[in-house]
Structure 1
């Protein structure tokens, strides 16, 4: 890669370089923070763009970002050759991209040396933080999950060290992780790879956990009213002594929210999910989506379909059948089974298209969100005041689901299966639970209160607003 020229500042304006990772769950928070800084003024922004992207959605969103904000500098970054298939056969393509980025991270040195500050993804922290420290450039981490998960990342190496000293590691069990002043994370709630200390993901997770204490600060897409205990424990050094400053700046808003009046008044395209929602009664629709890279088995998809059918509720289902969207060529009728689309015609809409989930959740017709509880989805539901029925699929989802419950966002079906487990959750059970939560006024009221707290946090003078101002002020005085 030929390093592109960068400048630390222009006329005294700080230049911040963002280094995102792969996967829309990681990129979306980056795009939202980038848009917020760009819109604030007084900060120059550049974005390291790794090519080629893993998914079509990533490529489209990068294109949209640079088109909407032409003042943002694009720094194309080409990775070193890496025979991922030979070294790690069968691994998640996004995890392999993180590994490829880590192996090429030293190439970032000339770029990082020319900026005022860096904001990196946590998956790259163990490599980017040392580079920044060498050239005396402040390095912040944008943490794309919840503060509770950040406390787990920080404390997990300590937990392993304690287990080793107590000689518990010989049992082969990681065990429950009791995070000081936060909560006990049951072993069954941990991201599945963490149960095997030899896995690539686990080694990266531990390396990042040890290195993040040397960062200059953390930006987290959460707000104080949602995770008071975790944020207080991190800030007070109770999780790890001397932990860097934590700026809770969420819930982050999509850069697509800043539309012109003409765009806002433009009617929804015929046949689009928004146009269909426009025809539905208030709070009558169950929105169903399991993230942009969490494919559910075809057998489980059929049971979800049966459950939505038997619930009697209206529903909008954004269906995904593969991990990488470029590979998603299955026909809906084949996946859902003969006759399903005809049976639910008019009452349900199923689409494989990319949607603006944030806008859908804010639509007055949506009354419940059946979700994998990815953190972007949780914060978008919280901001919209829509109850979330959490069905974790893997990764950090069960940790996030603890916040769904404690924060009042919704309910968690803890016994429902997730990736790697053979048990199917049957349609009858899904249908009954959906119908039950849709009719639960108390759940709806709690979610509405969370929405009010989210709005207060990001409003002028709110906790997240003040945290963002403090972060920007730190950039300008560095």
Structure 2
């Protein structure tokens, strides 16, 4: 029948791809005789170059093969929509089904495909996997609480007819603290949104899979995991986390990475606040200036990753003209501002870092937990407001950055929260306890997975 293989199908955004690759590496570490085949759909927006990353993975892990699908043009590529990212992404994944089918057919002829593992966003592929005999599992790249929400969303939809989620004062989800409807993932806030019905359908499809692999661990989300198995009656859930990237191979010799870490070497222990907001985390010029003013007034040491504001996206990032006049020179003894990117995992694990201002992407949350760094939660898009409620109210490893009704955060708020997270805040001790629990979870996973 040929060599045994596992097929992985990630959503195109870099965070989803990297998580799926890490899953593939973990599977190989337990089953070295397997081959891993990763099906890649070209990203529909802001195409970050993944070529170097993919090349480095291929050279380091010969058992991992990438299959690049041809680009497709979705209907909405010429139109604008309120949730551009999700709708474009879902359309492209749906349009890619014929190419995925051909790839699976080819792989099934040459390998004994034991299973396929798909990203939640790739649910549309279930329409074609019925043609094959291998089981299909989900890999859910957010937390267990968010998975509980996805399971429960069809019920919320049925029991609140006509109401938009954002207008519901309090939403009750099994295993999750009560939260405002407006804290639900952005894509489902309004019923007339083009992707709302798709997410309802995805929620219904979850229980039809052979199982769900989730990047979390019991001590971090015990209540949500228990609710999924008991109240929502889905028992085939496999928490394998925390699964994080310990630094990409191609980043190690990056000049920017070296300069960030060298600067941190010269700072006192736990004295630096690290501000970083993910690959899609953008602020207006006005908000960037407000952050700068808040940081300067706080008197705290900081390492800040700044990206070009949307209104300046077609120009080269110029820190001097973007930031307040004289800011860089006035703060050069205490702060470092870097353009667009920093090596997040090595930075978080540096002894000089004592706090992390984050957009609440799940990967970033897990990286902070594993490093034992308390967070200031500043969500920007996707399910990040939901994640904020979890890490502030439920897990208690973060404090909240409070925004105005329009989403704007004042310099005074930035100043307060930055000072608070570096001080003796209660979440620091809780974060260290979670770091220890994460280390324990990984050793238990290793023990349970042998053979």
The alignment's TM-score, normalised by the length of structure 2, stands at 0.89
Helix, strand or coil: the match of 1:200? Answer: coil
Residue 4 of structure 1: aligned partner: none
Residue 455 of structure 1: aligned partner: 439
Helix, strand or coil: the match of 1:15? Answer: strand
Q: How many residue pairs get matched? A: 442
Shift of 1:24: 2.2
* Cα distance between partner residues in 2 of 1:375 and 1:273: 23
Shift of 1:20: 0.8
Residue 238 of structure 2: aligned partner: 247
Aligned ranges 1:158-197 → 2 under 5 Å: 158-164=155-161, 169=163, 173=167, 176-197=170-191
Residue 427 of structure 1: aligned partner: 411
Aligned ranges 1:20-419 → 2 under 5 Å: 20-40=10-30, 41-51=32-42, 54-89=46-81, 91-93=83-85, 95-113=87-105, 114=108, 115-125=113-123, 127-164=124-161, 169=163, 173=167, 176-236=170-230, 238-239=231-232, 241=233, 243=234, 245-254=236-245, 256=247, 272-321=259-308, 329-405=316-392, 406-413=394-401, 415-417=402-404
* Cα distance between partner residues in 2 of 1:270 and 1:355: 6
5+ residue gaps, structure 2, are none
* Cα distance between partner residues in 1 of 2:260 and 2:386: 30
Change (3 A) 1:342 1:38: same
* Cα distance between partner residues in 1 of 2:255 and 2:243: 24
The answer to whether the 8 Å contact 2:285/2:322 transfers is yes
Shift of 1:193: 3.2
Q: What's the RMSD between the two structures over aligned residues?
A: 2.9
Change (3 A) 1:343 1:208: same
Helix, strand or coil: the match of 2:336? Answer: strand
Shift of 1:58: 3.4
Deviations 1:352-389 (A, max 9, x none): 24332111101111000011111111110001110011
Deviations 1:261-306 (A, max 9, x none): xx99x99879621111111111010000111112112111111111
* Cα distance between partner residues in 2 of 1:147 and 1:170: 24
Deviations 1:9-63 (A, max 9, x none): 51xxx31111111222322211211222233313210111223674224344323
* Cα distance between partner residues in 2 of 1:171 and 1:145: 20
More deviation, 293-302/423-432: 423-432
Helix, strand or coil: the match of 2:333? Answer: coil
Deviations 1:104-149 (A, max 9, x none): 2243123334122111110111x12232233222111111111100
The answer to whether the 8 Å contact 2:284/2:309 transfers is no
* Cα distance between partner residues in 2 of 1:47 and 1:188: 36
The answer to whether the 8 Å contact 1:19/1:121 transfers is yes
* Cα distance between partner residues in 2 of 1:424 and 1:123: 30
Change (3 A) 1:466 1:270: closer
Helix, strand or coil: the match of 1:119? Answer: strand
* Cα distance between partner residues in 1 of 2:224 and 2:315: 38
* Cα distance between partner residues in 1 of 2:291 and 2:183: 23
Change (3 A) 1:400 1:457: same
The answer to whether the 8 Å contact 1:284/1:366 transfers is yes
* Cα distance between partner residues in 1 of 2:291 and 2:346: 24
The alignment's TM-score, normalised by the length of structure 1, stands at 0.84
